[in-house]
C-alpha cells in the first residue's frame, strides 16, 4: 500500500470505465448510475477548465426562458441529477422516504451517456472505450426507441 498521485481525469476515467462494464454486462446497473454520476462531477469540471461549456451548460442553453434568461448551471445540473436519481443513491437524508422508484436501466444508460458527453470533450479520452460502448448500443438497444446510429437527423418517437 502506498500513496500515489492521481489526476482527476484518471479517477473519472476508471469510474466511467467500471460503470460501462457493470452496465453492458448487466452485472449491476444500479451501481453504474452511482459511478457514472461521480465520474461526471469530475469530468464536468475538467471540461470547464479547458474553457469550453460542459454538457450541463449546453442543456441550459436549450432551456432559455421566454425572457431570454439561461437557467443557472447548478439548477440544470440538479434537475438532471434528480431525474437520474444520482443523489438518492448516495444520500439518505433525515425524513426522506425509505423506498424510491426508478427505472434502473434507463437511468444507468442516461448517466453513462451524460458522463460520456463530457468525457469525449477532453483530449486524453480513450477513443476505444467510446467506440466500444457505441457499438454495444448499436447491437443491443432498440433502434425504434434509441438513436443507436448517432444520426443527427434522428427524432425521438412520441412518448406512449
Q: Which of 67, 68, 101, 151 binds other proteins (CB under 8 A)?
A: 101
| CB closer to other proteins, 38 vs 66 | 38
| CB closer to other proteins, 63 vs 103 | 103
Task: Give residues 26-85 in contact with other proteins (rule: CB under 8 A).
Answer: 27-28, 30-31, 34-35, 37-38, 41-42, 44-46, 48-49
Which class for 64: exposed (0-12), middle (13-18), buried (19 or more C-beta within 10 A)? exposed
| CB closer to other proteins, 92 vs 154 | 92
Which class for 15: exposed (0-12), middle (13-18), buried (19 or more C-beta within 10 A)? buried
Q: Is 159 in the site for other proteins (CB under 8 A)?
A: no
Q: Which of 53, 57, 73, 102 binds other proteins (CB under 8 A)?
A: 102
Phi-psi region of 123 (alpha: psi -120 to 50; beta: other; left: phi over 0): alpha
Rounded to the nearest 10 degrees, the angle between the axes of helix 127-140 and helix 8-24 is: 20
Place of cell 426522506: 96
Q: Are 70 and 63 in contact, with CB atoms under 8 Å apart? A: yes
- Contact positions toward other proteins, by CB under 8 A? 1-9, 11, 14-15, 17-19, 22, 27-28, 30-31, 34-35, 37-38, 41-42, 44-46, 48-49, 89-94, 96, 98-104
Amino acid at each position: 500500500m502506498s500513496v500515489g498521485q492521481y489526476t482527476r481525469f484518471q479517477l473519472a476515467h476508471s469510474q466511467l470505465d467500471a460503470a460501462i462494464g457493470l452496465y453492458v454486462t448487466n452485472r449491476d446497473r444500479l451501481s453504474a448510475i452511482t459511478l457514472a454520476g461521480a465520474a461526471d462531477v469530475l469530468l464536468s469540471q475538467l471540461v470547464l477548465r479547458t474553457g469550453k461549456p460542459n454538457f450541463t451548460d449546453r442543456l441550459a442553453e436549450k432551456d432559455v426562458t421566454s425572457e431570454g434568461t439561461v437557467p443557472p448551471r447548478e439548477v440544470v445540473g440538479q434537475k438532471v441529477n434528480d431525474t437520474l436519481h444520482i443523489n438518492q443513491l448516495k444520500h439518505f437524508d433525515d425524513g426522506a422516504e425509505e423506498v424510491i422508484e426508478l427505472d434502473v436501466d434507463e437511468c444507468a444508460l442516461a448517466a453513462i451517456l451524460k458522463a460520456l458527453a463530457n468525457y469525449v470533450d477532453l483530449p486524453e479520452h480513450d477513443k476505444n472505450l467510446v467506440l466500444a460502448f457505441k457499438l454495444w448500443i448499436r447491437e443491443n438497444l432498440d433502434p425504434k426507441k434509441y438513436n443507436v446510429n448517432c444520426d443527427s437527423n434522428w427524432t425521438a418517437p412520441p412518448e406512449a
